[in-house]
Amino acid sequence: MKGRVKITVIKTFSPEEVFGHEILRDGKPIQACSYEVGEEFIMDHHLNRPKEFCGQAWHDLYNTLMIYYYGGDYDYPEPGVTYQPCSDGIRPVIFKIEKMRE
């Protein structure tokens, strides 16, 4: 990898925050994802998804991680930093992705 990348959980949303009411599955309320705001993941190699990292969220962030891996940049809102949500429409999570300076 040309450099390490840090993924930080910025915000998690519950179904109540998204829809204004709870969403049920099999008669039970769906809870927000288990990520904690401020939780960090340091990526030294793009193919090694951390065990505790959601597969759907990893899939959603993968293109951005690959762009950073190969030296590219989104340059928004500043060089080496971007924000990206997962695509879970019921309980989304917002991630900050940033290149780490060695």
Rounded distance between C-alpha atoms, residue 51 and residue 24, angstroms: 27
69 or 20, higher pLDDT: 20
pLDDT of residue 1: 46
User: Torsion-angle region of residue 80: left (phi > 0), alpha (psi -120 to 50) or beta?
Assistant: left
* Contact present, 55 and 30 (Cβ < 8 Å): no
Give yes or no for residue 95 having a pLDDT over 60: yes
Q: How confident is the model at residue 29 (pLDDT cuts 50, 70, 90)?
A: very high
Give yes or no for residue 90 having a pLDDT over 50: yes
Q: Containing domain of residue 95, as a range?
A: 5-99
- % of the chain with per-residue pLDDT over 90: 63
Q: What is the pTM of this model?
A: 0.89
Give yes or no for residue 55 having a pLDDT over 60: yes
Residue 58, C-beta contacts closer than 8 angstroms, at least 6 positions apart: 49
Instruction: Report how many domains make up the chain.
Output: 1
Give yes or no for residue 68 having a pLDDT over 90: no
List pLDDT tens digits, range 33-54. Answer: 999 999 999 887 656 788 889 9
